[in-house]
Chains A and B, each alone.
Chain A
Amino acid sequence: MKKINFGLLLVYLFVGIFAIITVFPFIYMILGGLMSFQETTTIPPTFFPHHLQWGNYGKVFAEAPFAKYFLNTLITASVTTIVSLFNSILGAFALTNLRFKGKAVVKVIMLSLLMVPGEAIIFTNYNTIARMGLLNTYIGLVLPFLTSIFYMYYLMTYFGAISPTIYKAAMIDGASDWEYVWRILVPMSKGGLFTVGLLSFISGWNSFLWPLLVTNEDSMRLLNNGLSAFASDAGSETELQLAAATLTVLPILVIYFIFRKQIIRGVVRNDLKA
């Protein structure tokens, strides 16, 4: 008879329990979004809806401008991702390959800034944005997130892994720094850039506090804020809240699902977490 590996069994059990704990709310959210109001509130709770109430989604779209929220979120998340990626590439390149006076000082300053939590400067940022008259604008929503020291440092580990002789070779081949960055550095660091892009997009999509501060018009809201407003507006219509929540999370779930390998690889390889 084969011996049962109790250690491994324990590991699977542990992982299994945690998987259920994490995944269950998502599944219930999706299912609950398709239940009728009664089903969401009965005790004992229903798990599988009797009839799939697709109409809930129609109601959600009718009661709040979710399409607009969706568009707003897409715009801000994309713009922050593209611009911060662009800036991080150039910054990381400069700190990796270029030689300039005070480079070490710049690095130390950047590193110390990295240690300041975002929440600590959110009020000053708000003040700045407000004084610039950028409340309720896309620019106001994205401006503080267009550069990221974290992503820059993250990319530096990728760029630093490329042999410095590659840069020298490119110099001798006659490439300018600009050509080096786009023809060699970027294609050679696809993995890292992809990870940064994803992380940036996801965190842009999930942002809550900042958009809550700088927008108060319904037309400028992002999905998360829209959802929380909807939760209070929709009051007791739990099934609609769950449907709205599904709408909010779904795109990011799809992205996670498609790119899960890259995300895990990217985060694990550099021993860094967002």
Chain B
Amino acid sequence: MNEEKFIEVDNLQKVYEDNGYQAIKSVSFNVKKGDLVCLLGPSGCGKTTILNMVAGLLKPTSGDIRFDGKSIINTEPKDRNIGYVFQNYALYPHMTVLQNVMFPLTVGEHKKNKREAQEIAERYMKLTDIMRFSDQRPVRLSGGQQQRVAIARALVQEPKILLMDEPLSNLDARLRLQIREEIRALVKKVGITTLFVTHDQEEALSIGDKIILFNNGIVQQDDIGQRFYLEPNNQFVANFIGNPVIDNFEVTVEGGTVKGSDFAFDQNLLSEDRFKSPLEDGQYMLSVRPENILPVDEEDGQLTETIDDVELIGRECILKFTHDGHQARSLIGLGDRELHHGDVIHLKMALDRVFIFKPNGERVY
């Protein structure tokens, strides 16, 4: 048994037959046993499609999925040994909470007798803290409580793999924070390998052991959380991850100088060891995280800008300015300096933390 490759998705492809849309171009990744892996991406990137193919609800056009080394591509969903938590929970409205959780144990070939089924169901209901709703219908429960019922029902068959499709998107912001921690604690306690689909980067960063970021039907980056932030594979990843979003400046490299509109610096100021490939003359995109471009004294500044707007976000505030027709941001600590709309500031980029991308998105620095 290969713990590292508990779930193997190999060159998966999905073309919808009815409209010829290529939802998944070619996707391969592995999931380690016991890991909670987030499938992240903007809507329409194919993350739910992948989850549904792993679940067997959708048939891939080509490629293979292996659980524990065995291909399950031709296995029925019920025989894949999976639990699935749907975005809208998909609880059976005519059954009580107990009946909902018991349901998987009362159908199919592995049917248990009623007493045994109830015992197992109650064990998982205690684990998810829903025992007190046992006799209620799901309609009477709040979103968070319904969520727990759905999780208990998914776990009750003691599956090897748990699949969750945006399980938090129907909850309000505060509850979302709480439940996501609960989910992580729970799946770690049960020790189940989990695939968690989300479009929310913050959610993915906070609960995922590993994140796989998708766009346009391919994997953009398959990595641990902080690497997305510190070492984005390409322009898409840099743009997608981070809040406030990254600042992008168009630059031209010519004879050892990096030139933007209104600013320029010597290429030698960039750290030698961060180059992925040599920086040849041409057009590039210089991307800077807003916390790496900060107001400084006039003599140290690389850019001079006028503040359009100041937005408070808790402990920090975002200074917004327009550079070369595009909005850019600088993130400063609250109280560092009193700044207002219309103030002129001088900004300096931390050049050892900026990224440089080719026009095709490939990262150079």
Contact = CB atoms under 8 A, between A and B. Distances in A.
B171 interface: no
Contacts of B84: 168-169, 172
A176 interface: yes
B108 A168 contact: no
Interface string A46-86: 00000000000000000000000000000000000000000
Contacts of B103: 170, 173, 175, 183
Contacts of B57: 168, 171-172
Interface string B93-119: 110000000011001111000000000
Contact of B88 (A165, A171, A184): A165
A166 B92 contact: yes
B90 A179 contact: no
A184 to B, nearest CB: 6
A102 interface: no
Nearest to B154: A172
Interface stretch (B75-83, B317-325, B357-365): B75-83
A32 to B, nearest CB: 47
B157 interface: yes
A168 B55 CA distance: 10
A173 B93 contact: no
A174 B157 CA distance: 9
A173 B107 contact: yes
A179 B110 CA distance: 13
Question: Which of A165, A168, A173, A183: most chain B Cβ within 10 A?
Answer: A173
Choose among B84, B87, B109 the residue with the greatest number of A CB atoms under 10 Å from its CB. B84
A108 interface: no
A163 B88 CA distance: 9
A188 B94 contact: yes
A235 interface: no
A187 B88 contact: no
A43 to B, nearest CB: 60
B102 to A, nearest CB: 10
B82 A179 contact: no
Contact of B90 (A165, A175, A176): A165
B88 A173 contact: no
Nearest to A186: B94
Contact of B104 (A163, A166, A174): A174
Contacts of A172: 55, 57, 77-78, 82-84
B153 interface: yes
A93 to B, nearest CB: 16
Most chain A C-beta atoms within 10 Å of own C-beta, residue among B76, B87, B104: B104
Contact of A173 (B87, B94, B157): B157
B90 A169 contact: yes
B77 A183 contact: no
A165 B87 CA distance: 9
B236 interface: no
B133 interface: no
B86 interface: yes
Interface of A: 163, 165-166, 168-176, 179, 183-184, 187-188
Given A172-B57, A175-B108, A188-B92, 13 more contacts: A165-B87, A165-B88, A165-B90, A169-B92, A169-B153, A171-B76, A174-B109, A175-B78, A175-B107, A176-B108, A183-B103, A183-B107, A184-B94
Q: Top 7 closest A-B pairs, CB basis?
A: A174-B108, A173-B104, A169-B90, A175-B107, A174-B78, A165-B90, A187-B94
